[in-house]
C-alpha cells in the first residue's frame, strides 16, 4: 500500500472518530484508577439511590436503644448524670435480660460527683462529714461494680491529635490476622480517648464509636476495625457482637488489595479494603427507642430488653449526634450503630467486593470496544437507541447485583466511559448527517418543492405514518342553533364568516391558554385534546377549566353582540355552545395516507366525547363529561351526576356527569340542593320506584332551583311514564340506550 493512500484507507476502514474513542477509553481507565473525588462521589451517590429505592426491610428487631432523651433529662437533670444513676441503669437492664449493653459515650474523667471530690471541694462542711465522705466508695467504683456484674461494652473515641501516652496495663481485645498485614489499610486516628481505668478493667469489651462521614458529609460506611494511637481497635458495634458470641479474638482477613472481612464466632462481615462495612440502611425506626427514665422507673415492656443488644445513647437537643445517611437527612449516631447490629444479626449485609473493580474495567473495555467497532455502522437515531439499551443493561445489571445479591457493583464508570464514546461517535455521525442532508437537497431539489425537500432533509422519520397510545382528555364543542343563525346571514355570507371567526377565536384562546391542542375545526364545531403532543399531568383539570372559560367567553361575546344589536336596531340572537369531555386511552400521531396526513387522535374515548357533546342540549347542561374525567376532577369542580347511558355504537354503559361550575359553586348551598334533589330522583329511578321518582321530580319543581333542572326533569318524567306502561326487563341495570349519536 502506498503511503499516500494510507490516510484514505485509514479513514475508510477505521476512521479518526474510532481512534479518538480508543484514546478516550484509555483515558477513562486511568481516571478510574486515580479515582478523584468527583468520580467517587458519582459512584457513591448511585449506591445511595439504590438504598433509597430499596432500603433494608426489618425482619427482626434485635437491638434496643435506651435513649437519654429530653423527657429523661427533664426528670433526672442535665447530662452527664451521676455514675451511680448509670449503675442503676445497667443493673435494671441486666435484670431485664439484656444480652450486651454498650455506651455510645466515653467516660474519660472521674465522676464530678464522687464523694471524695465533694469532700475536697464543697464548702462549709465539718471535718467529720468530710471524713465520712472520703470513706464512701466512689461513683466510678459503683458504676464499675455494676458493669462487672453484666456484659458491658464501653465506647472509646478516635481523636485527630495524640493525647497522653496510653496506659499499657488497660485491657485490649485480642486480634488474629489471616493473609496480608491489615493495619496499613485501616483508618488511623492519631489519638485515642479511653475511659477511666476502673471502668476499663470492669468492662467485658471496648470499641470505638467514632463514625467517619465521607467527603459530602453522608455516612455510608462504618469502620469495623481501626487504628487509634497505635492501637488496633474494633468498632463499638463489632465489639458488642464479639462479646455476645463469647469469642475472645477477632479475626481479620486481608489480601494484597486490602481488608476483605472481619469476623468472630458466628459472624463474618464483608468489608471494603479499608475495613469499613457498607451499611444497608432501613428507615428511621422510633419503635426501637426506650426513654432511659422508663427503664429506671421500671416502666418498660420486658420484651423490649430481654434477649436484646442494648445501646445507650442520646437524642436530646444539644448533646445528640446527628448524621446524614442515604435514606434520612437526620439520623442519631446511636441509631446508625443499631443499624449495623441489625444488618449483621439478620444477615442483611451489602458489600462492595474487591473483584468489583475488575468487573467495572472489563465491562467498560468490552462495551467500549463494541461501541467503537459497531456504532459507526448505525445512524444517529439507531445509535441513541442502542446506547439507551447499553445504558439500561448496565444500570439493570448493577441493580440486579444490589437487589438479588446485595453487592455494590459500580455502573457509573463504564457508563461514563461508554457515554463519552457515544457522544463522540454521535457528533461524528452528526457531521456525516449534515453532509448527507446537503446531498439530499442537491439531489432532490429539482424534483420536489423546497418545503418537502427541507422536511425530508431535516426529519425524514416524521414522514412515517403511525401513532402512540396515551391517556388523553378529548373535547368536542358545538354552537347551538347554528342553522337558525346562519339563515339570518343568507344575504351576507361575509358577515357569517366574520361572526364565526369572532366566535371561534375566544374559544380557541380558552383552549390554548389551558394547554390544549386544537385538532380541527368543523364548521362551528371545535375538536381539541390534552396531554399530547406535550405531557400534561393535569389534563382532565385543564380541559374542564377550558370548558368553563369557553362559557365565560361566549357570555362576554353575547353581551358585546347584544349591545351592538341594540345600537343598530336589529334583532339579537344569543350564541350558545355545548361541550363534551371524555378521558381515556387514545392513539395520537400522524394519521392519514402516505401522501397527506395530519397530527390527530382517534379511539373509542374520542367517539364518546363526541356523543356527550351531542347530549348536552338534552340534559340542559352545557358541559357533559364522562365518568373517568369526572372522577379525576371531582374535588375541583361542581360535579352533578346525570344519567347511566348506553351510547349508540358502544357495548358498555357509561355514567355521565355535568360540570356546573368551579369549587366555589360546589360549596354553595344552591348547588348542594341541586345535587341532593338529583341523587334522590336517580336513586328512586334506578330502584324502579317510579312513583318515588315522580314525587322527587315534583318536589324539585317547587324549589328555587327548578329552572336549572327543568330539562332533566322533563327527560326523566317522559322516561318514567314510558316505563310505567312498558316496564324494563328484570335484568335492567338502570342504563338508558340513546337512540341518536
* Residue listed under C-alpha cell 475536697: 120
Length of the chain: 741
pLDDT at 11: 47
Look at residue 488 and give its three-state secondary structure: coil
Buried b (16+ CB within 10 A) or exposed e, 80-105: bbbbbbbbbbbbbbbebebbbbbbbb
Q: Residue 274: CA atoms inside 13 Å, Cβ hemisphere, count?
A: 11
- What does the alpha-carbon distance between residue 719 and residue 741 come to, in Å, rounded to a whole number? 18
pLDDT at 686: 92
- Torsional class of 407: left (φ above 0), alpha (ψ -120 to 50), beta (otherwise): beta
- Residue 415 — φ and ψ, nearest 5°? -70, -45
Spans of the chain, pLDDT less than 50: 1-14, 443-453, 456, 460-465
Residue-wise pLDDT for 221-265, tens only, equals 899 999 999 889 999 999 999 999 988 899 999 988 888 889 988
- What does the alpha-carbon distance between residue 475 and residue 454 come to, in Å, rounded to a whole number? 34
Q: Is 77 exposed, middle or buried (0-12, 13-18, 19+ CB in 10 A)?
A: exposed
Q: Note whether 296 and 88 are within 8 A (CB).
A: yes
From start to end of 424-514, where are the E strands? Answer: 466-480
From start to end of 538-674, where are the E strands? Answer: 576-592, 597-602, 623-626, 637-646, 654-662
Query: Quick one: which of 253, 271, 269 has its CA closest to 354?
Result: 271
Specify the DSSP element, H or E, that contains 549: helix 539-568
CA distances from 56 to 24, 128, 346, 398, 444 (A): 38, 61, 11, 17, 62
pLDDT at 145: 93
Q: Note whether 539 and 531 are within 8 A (CB).
A: yes
- What does the alpha-carbon distance between residue 539 and residue 541 come to, in Å, rounded to a whole number? 6
Residue-wise pLDDT for 263-279, tens only, equals 988 778 888 888 988 88
Q: Note whether 614 and 581 are within 8 A (CB).
A: no
pLDDT at 344: 86
Threshold 0.85, pTM exceeds: no
Query: Quick one: which of 437, 319, 418, 436 has its CA closest to 374?
Result: 418
Q: Note whether 37 and 215 are within 8 A (CB).
A: yes
pLDDT at 449: 35
Residue-wise pLDDT for 155-170, tens only, equals 999 998 888 777 777 8
Q: Note whether 235 and 224 are within 8 A (CB).
A: yes
End-to-end CA distance of the chain: 78
CA distances from 423 to 264, 371, 384, 678 (A): 50, 11, 9, 63
Query: Quick one: which of 623, 612, 642 has its CA closest to 548?
Result: 623
Amino acid at each position: 500500500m502506498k503511503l499516500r493512500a494510507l490516510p484514505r484507507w485509514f479513514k475508510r476502514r477505521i476512521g479518526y472518530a474510532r481512534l479518538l474513542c480508543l484514546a478516550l477509553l484509555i483515558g477513562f481507565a486511568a481516571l478510574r484508577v486515580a479515582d478523584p473525588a468527583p468520580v467517587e462521589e458519582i459512584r457513591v451517590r448511585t449506591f445511595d439511590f439504590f438504598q433509597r429505592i430499596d432500603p433494608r426491610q426489618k425482619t427482626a428487631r434485635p437491638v434496643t436503644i435506651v435513649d437519654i432523651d429530653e423527657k429523661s433529662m427533664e426528670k433526672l437533670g442535665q447530662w452527664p448524670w451521676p455514675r451511680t444513676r448509670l449503675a442503676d441503669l445497667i443493673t435494671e437492664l441486666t435484670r431485664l435480660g439484656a444480652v450486651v449493653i454498650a455506651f455510645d459515650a466515653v467516660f474519660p474523667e472521674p465522676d464530678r460527683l464522687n464523694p471524695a471530690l465533694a469532700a475536697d471541694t464543697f464548702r462549709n462542711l465539718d471535718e467529720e462529714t468530710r471524713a465520712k465522705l472520703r470513706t464512701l466508695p466512689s461513683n466510678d467504683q459503683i458504676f464499675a461494680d455494676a458493669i462487672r456484674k453484666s456484659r458491658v461494652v464501653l465506647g472509646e473515641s478516635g481523636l485527630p491529635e495524640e493525647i497522653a501516652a496510653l496506659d499499657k496495663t488497660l485491657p485490649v481485645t485480642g486480634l488474629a490476622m489471616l493473609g496480608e498485614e491489615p493495619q496499613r489499610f485501616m483508618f488511623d486516628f492519631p489519638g485515642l480517648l479511653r475511659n477511666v481505668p476502673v471502668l476499663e478493667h470492669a468492662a467485658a469489651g471496648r470499641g470505638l464509636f467514632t463514625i467517619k462521614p465521607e467527603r459530602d458529609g453522608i455516612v455510608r460506611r462504618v469502620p469495623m476495625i481501626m487504628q487509634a494511637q497505635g492501637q488496633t481497635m474494633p468498632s463499638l458495634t463489632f465489639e458488642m457482637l464479639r462479646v455476645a458470641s463469647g469469642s475472645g479474638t477477632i479475626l481479620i482477613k486481608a489480601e494484597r488489595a486490602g481488608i476483605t472481612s472481619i469476623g468472630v464466632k458466628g459472624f463474618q462481615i464483608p468489608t471494603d479494603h479499608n475495613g469499613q462495612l457498607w451499611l444497608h440502611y432501613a428507615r428511621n425506626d422510633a419503635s426501637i427507642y426506650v426513654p432511659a427514665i422508663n427503664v429506671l422507673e421500671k416502666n418498660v415492656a420486658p420484651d423490649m430488653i430481654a434477649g436484646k443488644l442494648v445501646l445507650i445513647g442520646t437524642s436530646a437537643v444539644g448533646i445528640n449526634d446527628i448524621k446524614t445517611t442515604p435514606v434520612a437527612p437526620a439520623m442519631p449516631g446511636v441509631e446508625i450503630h443499631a443499624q449495623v447490629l441489625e444488618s449483621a444479626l439478620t444477615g442483611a449485609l451489602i458489600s462492595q467486593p474487591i473483584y468489583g473493580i475488575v468487573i467495572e474495567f472489563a465491562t467498560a473495555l468490552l462495551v467500549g470496544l463494541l461501541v467503537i467497532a459497531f456504532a459507526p455502522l448505525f445512524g444517529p437515531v439507531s445509535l441513541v437507541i442502542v446506547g439507551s439499551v447499553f445504558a439500561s443493561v448496565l444500570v439493570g445489571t448493577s441493580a440486579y447485583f444490589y437487589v438479588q445479591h446485595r453487592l455494590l457493583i459500580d455502573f457509573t464508570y463504564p457508563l461514563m466511559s461508554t457515554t463519552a464514546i457515544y457522544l463522540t461517535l454521535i457528533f461524528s455521525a452528526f457531521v456525516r448527517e449534515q453532509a448527507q442532508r446537503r446531498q439530499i437537497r442537491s439531489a432532490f431539489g429539482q424534483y420536489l418543492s423546497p418545503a418537502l425537500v427541507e422536511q425530508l432533509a431535516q426529519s425524514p422519520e416524521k414522514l412515517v405514518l403511525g401513532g402512540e397510545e396515551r391517556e388523553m382528555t378529548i373535547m368536542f364543542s358545538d354552537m347551538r342553533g347554528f342553522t337558525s343563525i346562519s339563515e339570518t346571514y343568507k344575504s351576507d355570507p361575509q358577515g357569517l364568516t366574520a361572526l364565526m371567526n369572532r366566535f371561534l377565536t375566544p374559544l380557541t384562546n380558552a383552549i390554548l391558554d389551558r394547554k390544549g391542542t386544537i385538532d380541527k375545526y368543523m364548521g362551528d364545531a371545535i375538536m381539541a385534546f390534552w396531554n399530547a403532543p406535550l405531557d400534561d399531568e393535569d389534563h382532565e383539570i385543564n380541559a374542564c377549566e377550558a370548558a368553563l372559560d369557553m362559557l365565560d367567553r361566549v357570555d362576554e361575546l353575547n353581551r358585546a353582540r347584544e349591545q351592538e344589536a341594540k345600537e343598530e336596531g336589529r334583532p339579537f340572537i344569543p350564541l350558545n355552545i355545548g361541550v363534551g369531555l371524555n378521558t381515556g386511552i387514545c392513539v395520537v400521531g400522524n394519521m392519514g395516507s402516505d401522501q397527506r396526513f395530519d397530527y390527530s387522535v382517534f379511539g373509542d374515548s374520542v367517539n364518546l366525547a363526541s356523543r356527550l357533546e351531542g347530549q348536552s342540549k338534552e340534559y340542559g347542561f352545557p358541559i357533559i363529561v364522562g365518568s373517568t374525567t369526572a372522577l379525576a376532577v371531582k374535588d375541583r369542580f361542581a360535579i352533578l351526576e346525570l344519567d347511566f347511558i348506553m351510547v349508540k355504537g358502544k357495548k358498555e354503559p357509561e355514567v355521565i356527569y355535568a360540570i356546573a361550575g368551579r369549587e366555589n359553586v360546589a360549596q354553595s348551598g344552591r348547588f348542594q340542593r341541586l345535587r341532593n334533589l338529583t341523587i334522590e330522583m336517580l336513586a328512586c329511578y334506578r330502584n324502579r320506584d317510579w312513583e318515588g321518582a315522580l314525587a322527587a321530580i315534583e318536589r324539585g319543581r317547587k324549589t328555587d332551583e327548578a329552572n336549572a333542572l327543568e330539562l332533566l326533569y322533563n327527560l326523566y318524567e317522559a322516561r318514567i311514564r314510558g316505563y310505567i306502561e312498558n316496564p324494563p326487563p328484570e335484568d335492567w341495570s338502570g342504563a338508558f340506550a340513546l337512540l341518536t349519536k
